[in-house]
């Protein structure tokens, strides 16, 4: 994080990335002095309502983040930024998005948790669009032109006001990750009791193990000796009313609907109290670690891996075999995970798999048979990309093996 004083003093001359959070109410014009170098501008967590027309002078600007500000309109000047690819205006008060606010090279658009009821048809005229996050708005329909976004791979439309499953997605040949829970067409009023309902006083929360968009996972201990549950537990306490993927309640319902599977993180109990929603889970053994890393700003929708990371073809095949089983189990329960990625996959040294993170999951039992088959095909592409990503880190000595070629063909078949 940088300071306004650093910017004003000229200390930041030549930097490529600028992050300013200083309760700003006006755009600091000193930023324009960075026009020859600035590629990423992060103005999140301020009080901004507008951007000046002069921001178009930032000719090298590729990415702008302005989440948690006070914008009510997506600024039209963004469309004049000739190299802008990524626009992130999460958690503002945006109700209007005009055609002129969408950059020609737009690749990644985040407008989660705003007040939009519609989007312009011009969205379909952004051929580079790969990632579109719109959860937590008031959208009643999607632009018909969305059918033209042939490169769109990830779509988040949960927690809106869509009355019907958007037919436009059936025309998107690369769509692999979709979340649509919490809309009128997909709402589920069932209260699933696949695990017991308990009180939050049943356990003590201890150290934090990790956190994501929807909640915080902590190690926990029971307040009383247990005969029903294992001693080693973790608790996921859901946070906020809406996340980048939708409503926490929908995540918990989907997780409970899926039930148990040897390669899924096991849910043991649920907590539903005023302003407190939680899942009690079996504690993941310490030897498990994340298989991959989340997508980067460059990779956009595809997982990343540490430098020089490799896997033998035997371990890759073992992981994929287990993930096939998870995929079949999820869709037998009519649940789309929506986030089938290596970074959501835990493995140990023997390539045993535990899969979790249902933040983007959507139940789809209420859809028509043809729509259900479409959802399964879409998530099949995610499995194909998962296989493809692992093959990219395959040990060089195994890259010409028969097993490698079989998995390559499987990925191609899933892509259709």
Query: What's the number of domains the chain is made of?
Result: 3
Model confidence over 30-51: pLDDT tens digits? 999 999 999 999 999 999 999 9
Average confidence (pLDDT) over 322-336:
97
Torsion angle in degrees (nearest 10) through CA of 261, 341, 235, 68: -150
Average confidence (pLDDT) over 335-360:
96
Under the banding of pLDDT at 50, 70 and 90, the label for residue 188 is: confident
CATH of the domain at 277: 3.30.200.20
Residue 179's pLDDT is 97
| Distance between CA atoms of residues 165 and 162, nearest Å | 7
Average confidence (pLDDT) over 310-332:
98
Residue 189 clears pLDDT 70, i.e. is over it: no
Is residue 323, in this structure, part of any structural domain at all?
yes
Tokens of 252: 């918990």
Is residue 101, in this structure, part of any structural domain at all?
yes
Is residue 194, in this structure, part of any structural domain at all?
no
Q: Which domain holds residue 255?
A: 200-282
Task: From 323, 338, 336, 324, select the one nearest 365 (Cα to Cα).
Answer: 336
CATH of the domain at 35: 3.80.10.10
CB 57 within 8 A of CB 32: yes
Average confidence (pLDDT) over 185-196:
77
Average confidence (pLDDT) over 396-403:
95
Cα 282 to the center of its chain, rounded Å:
24
Under the banding of pLDDT at 50, 70 and 90, the label for residue 266 is: confident
Instruction: Kindly state whether residues 264 and 343 are assigned to the same domain.
Output: no
Residue 4's pLDDT is 92
Residue 190 clears pLDDT 70, i.e. is over it: no
Residue 204, CA distances (Å) to 92, 198, 223, 274, 294 in order: 35, 13, 6, 18, 31
Q: Is 236 annotated as a binding residue?
A: yes
Average confidence (pLDDT) over 110-131:
97
Instruction: Please give the mean pLDDT across all residues of the chain.
Output: 95
Under the banding of pLDDT at 50, 70 and 90, the label for residue 226 is: confident
Share of the chain above pLDDT 70, in %: 99
């Amino acid at each position: 994080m940088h300071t306004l004083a650093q910017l004003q003093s000229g200390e930041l001359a030549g930097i490529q990335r600028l992050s300013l959070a200083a309760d700003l109410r006006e755009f600091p014009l000193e930023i324009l002095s960075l026009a020859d170098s600035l590629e990423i501008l992060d103005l999140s967590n301020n009080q901004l309502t507008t951007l000046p027309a002069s921001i178009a002078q930032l000719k090298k600007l590729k990415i702008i983040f302005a989440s948690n500000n006070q914008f009510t309109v997506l600024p039209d000047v963004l469309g004049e930024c000739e190299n802008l690819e990524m626009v992130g205006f999460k958690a503002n008060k945006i109700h209007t998005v005009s055609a002129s606010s969408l950059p020609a090279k737009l690749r990644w658009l985040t407008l989660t948790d705003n007040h939009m009821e519609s989007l312009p048809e011009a969205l379909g005229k952004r051929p580079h669009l790969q990632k579109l996050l719109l959860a937590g708005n008031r959208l009643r329909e999607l632009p018909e032109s969305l059918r033209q976004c042939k490169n769109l791979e990830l779509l988040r439309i949960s927690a809106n006001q869509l009355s019907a499953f958007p037919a436009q997605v059936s025309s998107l040949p690369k769509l692999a990750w979709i979340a649509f829970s919490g809309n009128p067409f997909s709402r589920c009023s069932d209260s699933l009791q696949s695990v017991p309902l308990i009180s939050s006083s049943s356990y003590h929360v201890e150290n934090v193990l990790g956190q994501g968009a929807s909640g915080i996972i902590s190690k926990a201990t029971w307040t009383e000796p247990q005969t029903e549950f294992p001693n080693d537990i973790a608790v996921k306490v859901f946070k906020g009313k809406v996340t980048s993927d939708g409503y926490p309640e929908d995540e918990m319902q989907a997780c409970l609907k899926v039930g148990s599977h040897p390669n899924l993180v096991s849910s043991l109990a649920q907590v539903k109290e005023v302003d407190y929603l939680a899942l009690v889970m079996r504690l993941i053994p310490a030897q498990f670690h994340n298989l991959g890393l989340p997508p980067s700003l460059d990779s956009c929708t595809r997982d990343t891996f540490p430098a020089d990371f490799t896997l033998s073809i035997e371990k890759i095949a073992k992981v994929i075999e287990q993930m096939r089983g998870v995929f079949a189990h999820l869709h037998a329960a009519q649940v789309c995970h929506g986030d089938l990625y290596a970074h959501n996959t835990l493995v140990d040294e023997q390539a045993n798999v535990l899969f979790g993170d249902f933040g983007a999951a959507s139940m789809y039992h209420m859809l028509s048979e043809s729509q259900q088959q479409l959802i399964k095909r879409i998530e099949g592409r995610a499995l194909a990309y998962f296989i493809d990503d692992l093959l990219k880190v395959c040990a060089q000595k195994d890259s010409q093996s028969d097993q490698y070629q079989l998995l390559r063909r499987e990925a191609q078949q899933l892509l259709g």
